[in-house]
Amino acid sequence: MSAQPEPEPDVVIIGGGVIGLSIGWRSAQQGLRVVIADPDPGRGATRAAAGMLTPIAEAAYAEREIFQLGRESLRRYPAFASELATASGLPTGFRQGGTLQVAYDGDDLALLTEMRLLQESFGVVVQPLTARECRAAEPMLDPSVRGGLLAESDGSVDPRLLAAALLRAAAAAGARLIRQPVTEVLCTAGRAGGVRLADDSVVQARWIVLAAGWQSATMPGLPAGLAPPVRPVKGQIMRLATTAAMAAAGLPPGLLRRTVRGLVHGSSVYLVPRDSGELVVGATQEELGADTAVTAGGMWELLRDARTLVPGITELELVDVVAGLRPGTPDNAPVIGPSELPGLVLATGHFRAGVLLAPVTADTVASFLCTGSPDPIWRAFAAARFAAAGRAVSPQPESALT
């Protein structure tokens, strides 16, 4: 019997990071025929990410809409993670322990007070903690820590486990993974209608979803001015691990009970513990183009600040160092929704929050692909905002700072 040709998919998703895989899973669950194209799914920024689910602790001035999107996605996380674990039979490392933000010196404490006012202006009540209360919450903190803020609803997930679970769940729901890069988006009669792959084969579909992280900006085949303005923002990160002897001595896995975000003489560092005993320490934020070298200086900065806050980390085993490229936009907000090119949907530019924003992005994009109705939650995230603001629609120069 001759093999049947694959039926034409409804949607081709360009990019198998946490955003593309989540959209693929949710869309296949809705009954769409899905193809995900990525030569190395689950790697890139997803593999480097710490997996903090911390819209409150990462709130920033002039980013109220990003904060609200993050909170909505966090609200969806427990169901997303539990459904995913059931569908895949794999763990995701989802935890809901909160985030403790801490300040090392007086200036850091002043910055933390400003942070609390910002969080309150966003309608969030965080709990201010004295130095003593910080150490009661996290006994491994250095006694010099001056004070903190506890955001109890923040959480974390392990992005590497998440990606593995998404791959399996998407496949179980019927999505087809093609391990090849897309070399061109194909447009006919003013509409995106397919992609060309590295082996020169073509896959046609009603919808093309561009979820290629920082590489979305340079995707060949898009009409001039349509590529979303995404640039790579390098982040270096390290993974440490508690030993069996430490666990036997009663220390918590990863030394901490919850994520700690610290300010140390004005420099920012975070430590994310996992049930496995891993402690992720991150991250640098560098405007160096597509450079993924792990540098001595980057590791030194992370270790310097992390050790200042939690001296015991020097006893941990160093298990991994990695650099990833976050997809940054000119206003730090993602680009989600239909583009000006019919048939092309954008889901990119999630910058520091791709893992956090995966559930809300996936749910709303999958629903759009089925109904054609854009979600009102996307209002602030349309690609058109850059043209409207008169900003460049090409990546910023490498020297630009966020």
Chain positions contacting ligand GLY, by CB under 6 A = 50, 52, 235, 282-283, 326, 352
Least separation in angstroms between residue 297's CB and ligand GLY is 17
CB of 235 to ligand GLY, least distance (A): 5
Task: Name the residue nearer to ligand GLY (CB basis): 115 or 175.
Answer: 115
Contacts 24+ apart (CB under 8 A), 366-371: 366/23, 366/26, 366/27, 366/29, 366/30, 366/32, 367/30, 368/337, 368/338, 369/10, 369/11, 369/27, 369/30, 369/32, 369/207, 369/209, 369/345, 370/27, 370/30, 370/31, 370/32
* Dist CA 105 CA 235 (whole Å): 25
**Could you give the C-alpha distances from 290 to 233, 287, 326, 328, 347, in angstroms and in order?**
8, 9, 10, 12, 20
Q: Least distance in Å: CB of 298 to ligand GLY?
A: 12
Separation in Å, CA 155 to CA 51, 332, 395: 9, 21, 32
Nearer to ligand GLY by Cβ, of 95 and 352: the residue is 352
Residue 155 in 3-state DSSP? strand
Nearer to ligand GLY, 27 or 236 (CB): 236
Q: How far is the CB of 269 from ligand GLY (least distance, A)?
A: 10
> How many CB atoms are closer than 10 A to CB 224?
7
- Closest CB 191 distance from ligand GLY, rounded Å: 35
**Helix (H, G, I), strand (E, B), or coil: what is residue 261?**
strand
Nearer to ligand GLY, 60 or 247 (CB): 60
Which is closer to ligand GLY, CB of 274 or CB of 352? 352
Q: How far apart are CA 317 and CA 304, in angstroms?
A: 16
Which single residue brings its beta carbon nearest to ligand GLY?
Answer: 352
Q: Between 159 and 252, whose beta carbon lies closer to ligand GLY?
A: 159
Strands of 344-348's sheet in order across = 176-178, 34-37, 11-14, 207-210, 344-348, 335-338
d(CA 216, CA 182): 11
* Burial zone of 70 (CB within 10 Å; 0-12 exposed, 13-18 middle, 19+ buried): buried
Tell me how far, at minimum, the Cβ of 376 lies from ligand GLY, in Å.
26
Nearest approach in angstroms of CB 122 to ligand GLY is 18
Output the smallest distance, CB 135 to ligand GLY, in A. 25
The continuous run of DSSP H or E covering 327 comes out as strand 317-328
Q: Based on CB atoms, which residue is closest to ligand GLY, 69 or 382? A: 69
Least distance (Å) between residue 233 CB and ligand GLY: 8
Nearer to ligand GLY, 42 or 324 (CB): 324
Task: Give the residue among 260, 242, 236 at the shortest CA–CA distance from 309.
Answer: 260
Q: How far is the CB of 125 from ligand GLY (least distance, A)?
A: 23
Cα dihedral 22, 27, 28, 34 sign: negative
Q: Measured from the CB atom, is 10 or 305 closer to ligand GLY?
A: 305
Closest CB to ligand GLY among residues 35, 69: 69
The DSSP bridge partners found for residue 281 are 238, 271
